[in-house]
Amino acid sequence: MSDTGHKARPVVAVVGPTASGKSELGIALALRFQGEVVNCDSVQVYREIEIATAKVPPAERRGVPHHLIDFVPPGTGYTAGEWARDATRVITDIESRGRLAILVGGTGLYLRALREPFFESPPTDTGLRSRLVSLRERRGAEHLHALLRRLDPETAARLSARDWSRVQRALEVRLQTGKTLSAQRAARPAPPALAARLRLFCLNPPRAELYARIDARAESHFRAGLVEEVRALLARGVPEGSSALGAHGYRRVVEYLRGKRTLESAVEQTKLDVRHYAKRQLTWFRREPGVEWVEGFGDDPRVQGRVVALNSDLEL
RNA sequence: GCAGGGGUGGUCGAGUGGUUAAUGGCACCGGGCUGUAAACCCGGCGGGUUCACACCCUACGUAGGUUCGAAUCCUACCCCCUGCA
Protein backbone atom coordinates (compact mmCIF):
# COMPACT_ATOMS: atom_id res chain seq x y z
CA MET A 1 0.00 0.00 0.00
CA SER A 2 2.53 2.54 1.09
CA ASP A 3 4.62 2.00 -2.03
CA THR A 4 1.63 2.92 -4.18
CA GLY A 5 1.19 6.09 -2.22
CA HIS A 6 -2.22 5.11 -0.83
CA LYS A 7 -3.05 5.77 2.75
CA ALA A 8 -3.03 2.61 4.83
CA ARG A 9 -6.47 1.20 5.43
CA PRO A 10 -7.67 2.15 8.91
CA VAL A 11 -8.98 -0.01 11.67
CA VAL A 12 -12.26 1.68 12.49
CA ALA A 13 -13.44 1.77 16.09
CA VAL A 14 -16.92 2.76 17.23
CA VAL A 15 -16.98 3.53 20.92
CA GLY A 16 -19.20 5.54 23.24
CA PRO A 17 -21.45 5.15 26.22
CA THR A 18 -23.72 2.18 26.59
CA ALA A 19 -27.04 2.48 24.74
CA SER A 20 -25.68 5.07 22.33
CA GLY A 21 -26.24 2.88 19.30
CA LYS A 22 -22.70 1.65 18.71
CA SER A 23 -23.77 -1.75 17.42
CA GLU A 24 -26.13 -0.30 14.84
CA LEU A 25 -23.52 2.14 13.61
CA GLY A 26 -20.93 -0.63 13.45
CA ILE A 27 -23.20 -2.79 11.34
CA ALA A 28 -24.08 0.13 9.08
CA LEU A 29 -20.41 0.80 8.47
CA ALA A 30 -19.68 -2.87 7.94
CA LEU A 31 -22.41 -3.14 5.32
CA ARG A 32 -21.16 -0.08 3.56
CA PHE A 33 -17.45 -0.86 3.56
CA GLN A 34 -17.30 -4.67 3.51
CA GLY A 35 -16.39 -4.79 7.16
CA GLU A 36 -16.53 -7.22 10.02
CA VAL A 37 -17.29 -6.34 13.61
CA VAL A 38 -14.86 -7.05 16.43
CA ASN A 39 -16.52 -6.82 19.79
CA CYS A 40 -14.79 -4.52 22.27
CA ASP A 41 -17.12 -5.02 25.20
CA SER A 42 -16.03 -6.84 28.29
CA VAL A 43 -19.41 -8.44 28.90
CA GLN A 44 -20.51 -9.39 25.42
CA VAL A 45 -17.55 -11.75 25.23
CA TYR A 46 -19.45 -14.12 27.51
CA ARG A 47 -21.83 -16.63 26.09
CA GLU A 48 -25.05 -17.72 27.77
CA ILE A 49 -25.66 -14.39 29.38
CA GLU A 50 -27.99 -12.70 27.01
CA ILE A 51 -30.84 -10.48 27.99
CA ALA A 52 -29.06 -7.63 29.76
CA THR A 53 -25.95 -7.61 27.60
CA ALA A 54 -27.44 -5.79 24.61
CA LYS A 55 -25.69 -8.19 22.24
CA VAL A 56 -27.07 -7.95 18.75
CA PRO A 57 -28.71 -11.34 18.14
CA PRO A 58 -27.20 -13.20 15.16
CA ALA A 59 -30.46 -12.83 13.25
CA GLU A 60 -30.16 -9.05 13.44
CA ARG A 61 -26.55 -8.81 12.33
CA ARG A 62 -27.59 -8.52 8.69
CA GLY A 63 -24.96 -10.95 7.61
CA VAL A 64 -22.10 -9.01 9.12
CA PRO A 65 -19.61 -11.36 10.80
CA HIS A 66 -19.08 -10.62 14.49
CA HIS A 67 -15.93 -11.65 16.32
CA LEU A 68 -14.93 -11.97 19.96
CA ILE A 69 -18.53 -12.13 21.01
CA ASP A 70 -20.27 -14.98 22.78
CA PHE A 71 -17.24 -17.20 23.17
CA VAL A 72 -16.14 -17.21 26.82
CA PRO A 73 -17.95 -19.57 29.21
CA PRO A 74 -19.87 -17.48 31.75
CA GLY A 75 -18.14 -18.82 34.80
CA THR A 76 -14.70 -18.02 33.43
CA GLY A 77 -12.70 -14.84 33.67
CA TYR A 78 -11.45 -12.93 30.67
CA THR A 79 -9.15 -9.96 30.82
CA ALA A 80 -8.23 -6.85 28.90
CA GLY A 81 -4.82 -8.31 28.10
CA GLU A 82 -6.33 -11.43 26.61
CA TRP A 83 -8.74 -9.37 24.60
CA ALA A 84 -5.94 -7.22 23.22
CA ARG A 85 -4.10 -10.27 21.98
CA ASP A 86 -7.24 -11.88 20.60
CA ALA A 87 -8.28 -8.66 18.91
CA THR A 88 -4.89 -8.19 17.28
CA ARG A 89 -5.11 -11.69 15.89
CA VAL A 90 -8.68 -11.29 14.68
CA ILE A 91 -8.06 -7.91 13.08
CA THR A 92 -5.05 -9.27 11.27
CA ASP A 93 -7.14 -12.12 9.99
CA ILE A 94 -9.95 -9.87 8.82
CA GLU A 95 -7.55 -7.63 6.97
CA SER A 96 -5.77 -10.56 5.41
CA ARG A 97 -9.07 -11.35 3.75
CA GLY A 98 -9.26 -7.84 2.41
CA ARG A 99 -12.04 -6.75 4.69
CA LEU A 100 -12.36 -3.80 7.02
CA ALA A 101 -12.04 -4.43 10.76
CA ILE A 102 -14.50 -2.45 12.86
CA LEU A 103 -14.09 -2.48 16.61
CA VAL A 104 -17.37 -1.92 18.38
CA GLY A 105 -17.78 -1.60 22.10
CA GLY A 106 -17.58 0.61 25.11
CA THR A 107 -14.86 -0.95 27.21
CA GLY A 108 -12.22 1.74 27.23
CA LEU A 109 -9.62 -0.36 28.99
CA TYR A 110 -9.79 -3.03 26.31
CA LEU A 111 -9.12 -0.49 23.62
CA ARG A 112 -6.32 0.94 25.70
CA ALA A 113 -4.79 -2.48 26.09
CA LEU A 114 -4.72 -2.76 22.33
CA ARG A 115 -3.23 0.66 21.73
CA GLU A 116 -0.74 0.59 24.57
CA PRO A 117 -0.11 -3.01 25.56
CA PHE A 118 0.33 -3.94 29.19
CA PHE A 119 3.56 -5.34 30.53
CA GLU A 120 3.97 -9.08 30.28
CA SER A 121 2.09 -10.73 33.06
CA PRO A 122 1.10 -14.29 33.87
CA PRO A 123 -2.58 -15.18 33.67
CA THR A 124 -4.74 -14.54 36.69
CA ASP A 125 -4.07 -17.03 39.46
CA THR A 126 -7.62 -17.72 40.51
CA GLY A 127 -6.54 -19.49 43.67
CA LEU A 128 -4.47 -16.54 44.77
CA ARG A 129 -7.25 -14.17 43.86
CA SER A 130 -9.83 -16.00 45.90
CA ARG A 131 -7.46 -16.10 48.86
CA LEU A 132 -7.02 -12.36 48.62
CA VAL A 133 -10.75 -11.87 48.29
CA SER A 134 -11.50 -13.87 51.39
CA LEU A 135 -8.70 -12.10 53.21
CA ARG A 136 -10.35 -8.82 52.38
CA GLU A 137 -13.73 -10.09 53.43
CA ARG A 138 -12.39 -11.28 56.75
CA ARG A 139 -9.88 -8.58 57.61
CA GLY A 140 -10.96 -5.63 55.49
CA ALA A 141 -9.47 -3.60 52.68
CA GLU A 142 -7.11 -1.84 55.08
CA HIS A 143 -5.43 -5.12 55.78
CA LEU A 144 -4.72 -5.78 52.12
CA HIS A 145 -3.36 -2.29 51.77
CA ALA A 146 -1.07 -2.79 54.76
CA LEU A 147 0.16 -5.97 53.12
CA LEU A 148 0.88 -4.10 49.93
CA ARG A 149 2.76 -1.42 51.89
CA ARG A 150 5.20 -4.13 52.87
CA LEU A 151 5.45 -5.79 49.45
CA ASP A 152 5.23 -2.78 47.14
CA PRO A 153 5.40 0.47 49.11
CA GLU A 154 5.48 2.62 46.02
CA THR A 155 2.21 1.31 44.63
CA ALA A 156 0.64 1.26 48.07
CA ALA A 157 1.42 4.93 48.46
CA ARG A 158 -0.26 5.68 45.16
CA LEU A 159 -3.40 3.72 45.94
CA SER A 160 -6.12 4.44 48.43
CA ALA A 161 -6.76 1.58 50.84
CA ARG A 162 -10.38 1.64 49.77
CA ASP A 163 -9.39 1.04 46.17
CA TRP A 164 -9.25 -2.65 46.91
CA SER A 165 -9.58 -3.71 43.32
CA ARG A 166 -6.23 -2.18 42.38
CA VAL A 167 -4.61 -3.02 45.68
CA GLN A 168 -5.50 -6.61 45.04
CA ARG A 169 -4.15 -6.54 41.53
CA ALA A 170 -0.87 -5.06 42.76
CA LEU A 171 -0.60 -7.82 45.33
CA GLU A 172 -1.26 -10.44 42.69
CA VAL A 173 1.46 -9.06 40.46
CA ARG A 174 3.95 -8.96 43.28
CA LEU A 175 3.08 -12.40 44.56
CA GLN A 176 2.94 -14.06 41.16
CA THR A 177 5.97 -12.51 39.54
CA GLY A 178 8.13 -11.58 42.48
CA LYS A 179 8.37 -8.11 41.01
CA THR A 180 6.46 -5.06 42.10
CA LEU A 181 3.83 -3.47 39.93
CA SER A 182 5.68 -0.20 40.26
CA ALA A 183 8.78 -1.80 38.77
CA GLN A 184 6.82 -3.30 35.88
CA ARG A 185 4.69 -0.37 34.88
CA ALA A 186 7.47 1.15 32.84
CA ALA A 187 8.10 -2.02 30.88
CA ARG A 188 5.44 -1.61 28.28
CA PRO A 189 5.78 -3.42 24.98
CA ALA A 190 5.53 -1.49 21.74
CA PRO A 191 1.99 -1.23 20.35
CA PRO A 192 1.05 -3.49 17.46
CA ALA A 193 1.42 -1.79 14.10
CA LEU A 194 -2.32 -1.70 13.59
CA ALA A 195 -2.76 0.57 16.59
CA ALA A 196 -1.37 3.45 14.57
CA ARG A 197 -4.10 2.92 11.98
CA LEU A 198 -7.01 3.23 14.39
CA ARG A 199 -9.73 5.62 13.41
CA LEU A 200 -11.72 6.21 16.54
CA PHE A 201 -15.32 7.45 16.55
CA CYS A 202 -17.04 8.13 19.83
CA LEU A 203 -20.79 8.60 19.93
CA ASN A 204 -22.05 11.37 22.15
CA PRO A 205 -25.84 11.46 22.35
CA PRO A 206 -27.75 14.10 24.32
CA ARG A 207 -27.35 13.12 27.94
CA ALA A 208 -31.01 13.28 28.94
CA GLU A 209 -32.09 11.14 26.01
CA LEU A 210 -29.35 8.65 26.66
CA TYR A 211 -30.47 8.27 30.26
CA ALA A 212 -34.07 7.86 29.19
CA ARG A 213 -33.00 5.07 26.84
CA ILE A 214 -31.00 3.39 29.52
CA ASP A 215 -33.95 3.41 31.91
CA ALA A 216 -36.29 2.08 29.26
CA ARG A 217 -33.85 -0.60 28.24
CA ALA A 218 -33.40 -1.83 31.80
CA GLU A 219 -37.14 -2.16 32.20
CA SER A 220 -37.46 -4.04 28.97
CA HIS A 221 -34.74 -6.46 30.09
CA PHE A 222 -36.68 -7.29 33.21
CA ARG A 223 -39.86 -7.71 31.18
CA ALA A 224 -37.98 -10.01 28.83
CA GLY A 225 -37.25 -12.44 31.63
CA LEU A 226 -33.94 -11.30 33.07
CA VAL A 227 -34.77 -12.71 36.48
CA GLU A 228 -35.43 -16.14 35.03
CA GLU A 229 -32.21 -16.02 33.06
CA VAL A 230 -30.22 -15.27 36.17
CA ARG A 231 -32.02 -17.95 38.16
CA ALA A 232 -31.12 -20.49 35.50
CA LEU A 233 -27.48 -19.38 35.36
CA LEU A 234 -27.16 -19.72 39.11
CA ALA A 235 -28.86 -23.09 39.02
CA ARG A 236 -26.36 -24.20 36.42
CA GLY A 237 -23.54 -23.32 38.75
CA VAL A 238 -22.29 -20.04 37.34
CA PRO A 239 -20.64 -18.45 40.37
CA GLU A 240 -22.34 -15.32 41.58
CA GLY A 241 -18.95 -13.71 41.95
CA SER A 242 -18.08 -14.26 38.30
CA SER A 243 -17.52 -11.33 35.99
CA ALA A 244 -20.50 -12.37 33.93
CA LEU A 245 -22.91 -12.23 36.85
CA GLY A 246 -21.31 -9.01 38.03
CA ALA A 247 -22.46 -7.28 34.86
CA HIS A 248 -25.17 -4.66 34.97
CA GLY A 249 -28.57 -6.17 35.37
CA TYR A 250 -27.20 -9.50 36.54
CA ARG A 251 -25.54 -8.15 39.66
CA ARG A 252 -28.69 -6.62 41.09
CA VAL A 253 -30.86 -9.57 40.16
CA VAL A 254 -28.49 -11.87 42.00
CA GLU A 255 -28.93 -9.67 45.05
CA TYR A 256 -32.68 -9.86 44.63
CA LEU A 257 -32.63 -13.64 44.33
CA ARG A 258 -30.47 -13.79 47.46
CA GLY A 259 -33.08 -11.79 49.32
CA LYS A 260 -30.88 -8.73 49.66
CA ARG A 261 -33.23 -6.35 47.85
CA THR A 262 -36.70 -6.15 46.38
CA LEU A 263 -37.37 -6.71 42.72
CA GLU A 264 -38.33 -3.09 42.35
CA SER A 265 -35.08 -1.88 43.86
CA ALA A 266 -33.16 -4.27 41.62
CA VAL A 267 -34.74 -2.58 38.62
CA GLU A 268 -34.09 0.92 39.90
CA GLN A 269 -30.54 0.17 40.98
CA THR A 270 -29.79 -1.37 37.62
CA LYS A 271 -30.88 1.81 35.90
CA LEU A 272 -28.61 3.82 38.16
CA ASP A 273 -25.68 1.45 37.66
CA VAL A 274 -25.95 1.75 33.92
CA ARG A 275 -26.38 5.51 33.93
CA HIS A 276 -23.33 5.92 36.13
CA TYR A 277 -21.45 3.59 33.84
CA ALA A 278 -22.38 5.58 30.75
CA LYS A 279 -21.02 8.67 32.42
CA ARG A 280 -17.73 7.01 33.29
CA GLN A 281 -17.38 5.81 29.73
CA LEU A 282 -17.75 9.35 28.50
CA THR A 283 -15.11 10.48 30.97
CA TRP A 284 -12.79 7.78 29.74
CA PHE A 285 -13.16 8.55 26.05
CA ARG A 286 -12.87 12.28 26.62
CA ARG A 287 -9.25 11.84 27.44
CA GLU A 288 -8.56 9.01 25.05
CA PRO A 289 -6.24 10.39 22.37
CA GLY A 290 -7.38 10.73 18.80
CA VAL A 291 -11.12 10.49 19.35
CA GLU A 292 -13.43 11.90 16.71
CA TRP A 293 -16.65 12.84 18.45
CA VAL A 294 -19.94 12.08 16.77
CA GLU A 295 -22.97 13.86 18.19
CA GLY A 296 -26.13 11.79 18.37
CA PHE A 297 -27.17 8.14 18.47
CA GLY A 298 -25.55 5.54 16.26
CA ASP A 299 -28.88 4.06 15.22
CA ASP A 300 -29.90 7.40 13.75
CA PRO A 301 -29.58 7.14 9.95
CA ARG A 302 -28.41 10.75 9.77
CA VAL A 303 -25.62 10.01 12.19
CA GLN A 304 -24.71 6.89 10.24
CA GLY A 305 -24.63 8.99 7.11
CA ARG A 306 -22.27 11.46 8.71
CA VAL A 307 -19.87 8.76 9.83
CA VAL A 308 -20.02 7.07 6.46
CA ALA A 309 -19.10 10.40 4.88
CA LEU A 310 -16.16 10.74 7.25
CA ASN A 311 -14.92 7.44 5.88
CA SER A 312 -15.54 8.17 2.23
CA ASP A 313 -11.91 7.36 1.48
CA LEU A 314 -12.76 3.74 2.24
CA GLU A 315 -15.05 3.57 -0.75
CA LEU A 316 -13.81 0.99 -3.16
C1' G B 1 -64.97 20.60 64.09
C1' C B 2 -61.73 18.82 68.25
C1' A B 3 -56.98 16.45 69.70
C1' G B 4 -52.15 15.08 68.30
C1' G B 5 -48.06 14.95 64.56
C1' G B 6 -45.82 17.39 60.53
C1' G B 7 -44.30 21.04 56.43
C1' U B 8 -36.04 21.98 55.64
C1' G B 9 -32.02 22.87 49.67
C1' G B 10 -33.61 18.35 43.03
C1' U B 11 -35.02 14.36 46.59
C1' C B 12 -35.02 11.57 51.29
C1' G B 13 -33.75 13.16 55.91
C1' A B 14 -30.81 15.56 60.41
C1' G B 15 -30.89 19.90 63.00
C1' U B 16 -35.01 22.60 68.20
C1' G B 17 -31.83 30.20 69.70
C1' G B 18 -25.31 31.64 68.05
C1' U B 19 -18.59 28.81 63.26
C1' U B 20 -25.92 27.10 59.76
C1' A B 21 -25.55 28.02 52.99
C1' A B 22 -27.69 24.49 56.85
C1' U B 23 -24.84 16.85 59.15
C1' G B 24 -25.72 12.66 56.16
C1' G B 25 -27.75 9.47 52.08
C1' C B 26 -29.44 9.58 47.05
C1' A B 27 -29.89 12.04 42.39
C1' C B 28 -26.99 15.10 39.29
C1' C B 29 -22.13 17.07 37.52
C1' G B 30 -16.80 16.47 37.09
C1' G B 31 -12.31 13.56 37.54
C1' G B 32 -9.07 9.19 37.94
C1' C B 33 -7.99 4.46 35.86
C1' U B 34 -1.45 -0.22 33.21
C1' G B 35 -4.52 -7.85 32.80
C1' U B 36 -11.74 -8.39 37.56
C1' A B 37 -12.98 -2.36 33.94
C1' A B 38 -20.59 -3.29 32.94
C1' A B 39 -14.81 -3.45 38.05
C1' C B 40 -12.71 -0.04 41.59
C1' C B 41 -11.72 4.86 43.47
C1' C B 42 -11.75 10.45 44.20
C1' G B 43 -13.97 15.37 44.05
C1' G B 44 -18.03 19.09 43.42
C1' C B 45 -22.93 20.10 44.45
C1' G B 46 -28.34 27.32 46.37
C1' G B 47 -27.14 31.65 43.07
C1' G B 48 -23.66 35.67 41.55
C1' U B 49 -18.64 38.21 41.17
C1' U B 50 -13.26 36.39 41.82
C1' C B 51 -7.28 33.03 39.37
C1' A B 52 -7.67 33.16 44.78
C1' C B 53 -8.01 34.45 50.31
C1' A B 54 -12.76 36.93 50.02
C1' C B 55 -17.36 39.38 49.20
C1' C B 56 -22.60 39.92 47.91
C1' C B 57 -27.55 37.91 47.33
C1' U B 58 -31.44 34.29 48.19
C1' A B 59 -32.96 30.19 51.33
C1' C B 60 -35.80 25.87 56.23
C1' G B 61 -44.85 26.36 54.19
C1' U B 62 -46.80 31.99 54.28
C1' A B 63 -47.08 36.66 56.95
C1' G B 64 -45.87 39.11 61.18
C1' G B 65 -43.44 39.28 66.11
C1' U B 66 -39.71 38.36 70.31
C1' U B 67 -34.20 38.63 70.46
C1' C B 68 -27.79 41.50 69.82
C1' G B 69 -28.85 36.90 66.96
C1' A B 70 -34.18 32.23 64.67
C1' A B 71 -34.81 26.75 60.47
C1' U B 72 -34.97 26.56 65.78
C1' C B 73 -39.23 30.70 70.53
C1' C B 74 -44.34 33.39 69.99
C1' U B 75 -48.95 34.75 67.01
C1' A B 76 -52.08 34.23 62.85
C1' C B 77 -52.98 31.88 58.36
C1' C B 78 -52.35 27.89 54.49
C1' C B 79 -51.40 22.76 53.43
C1' C B 80 -50.47 17.36 54.72
C1' C B 81 -50.96 12.89 57.98
C1' U B 82 -53.21 10.23 62.19
C1' G B 83 -57.07 9.56 66.00
C1' C B 84 -61.92 11.12 67.76
C1' A B 85 -66.27 13.07 66.08
Residue A98 CA neighbour count, 13 Å, CB half: 1
Please, which positions of strand B sit below 7 A from a protein CB? 26-42
Length A2 CA → B40 C1' (Å): 43
Residue A110 CA neighbour count, 13 Å, CB half: 26
Q: What is the pLDDT of residue A141?
A: 93
Measured CA to C1', what is the nucleotide nearest A269?
A: B26
CB atoms within 10 A of CB A11: 23
Length A283 CA → B49 C1' (Å): 30
Length A35 CA → B85 C1' (Å): 79
Helices then strands, each counted (H, E), chain A: 13, 6
Length A164 CA → B3 C1' (Å): 56
Q: Which of A280, A305, A306 is nearest to A292 (CA)?
A: A306
Q: What is the pLDDT of residue A152?
A: 96
Measured CA to C1', what is the nucleotide nearest A189?
A: B34
Measured CA to C1', what is the nucleotide nearest A187?
A: B34
Q: Residue A289 carries which side chain, given as an amino acid letter?
A: P
CB atoms within 10 A of CB A42: 19
Length A11 CA → B65 C1' (Å): 75
**CA dihedral sign of residues A214, A207, A209, A24:** negative
Measured CA to C1', what is the nucleotide nearest A49?
A: B38
Q: What is the pLDDT of residue A316?
A: 62
**What ipTM was assigned to the predicted interfaces of this complex?**
0.93
Length A273 CA → B29 C1' (Å): 16
Q: Residue A278 carries which side chain, given as an amino acid letter?
A: A
Measured CA to C1', what is the nucleotide nearest A117?
A: B34
Q: Are A192 and A256 in contact (CB under 8 A)?
A: no
Q: What is the pLDDT of residue A6?
A: 53
Length A272 CA → B13 C1' (Å): 21
Strand, helix or coil for residue A290: coil
Measured CA to C1', what is the nucleotide nearest A81?
A: B35
Residues of chain A scoring pLDDT < 50: 1-5
Please give the protein residue whose CA is closest to the C1' of the nucleotide B37: A109
A171-198 burial, b at 16+ Cβ within 10 Å, e below that, comes to bbbbeeeeebbbebeeeeeeebebbebb
Q: What is the pLDDT of residue A8?
A: 81
Measured CA to C1', what is the nucleotide nearest A278?
A: B38
Length A241 CA → B24 C1' (Å): 31
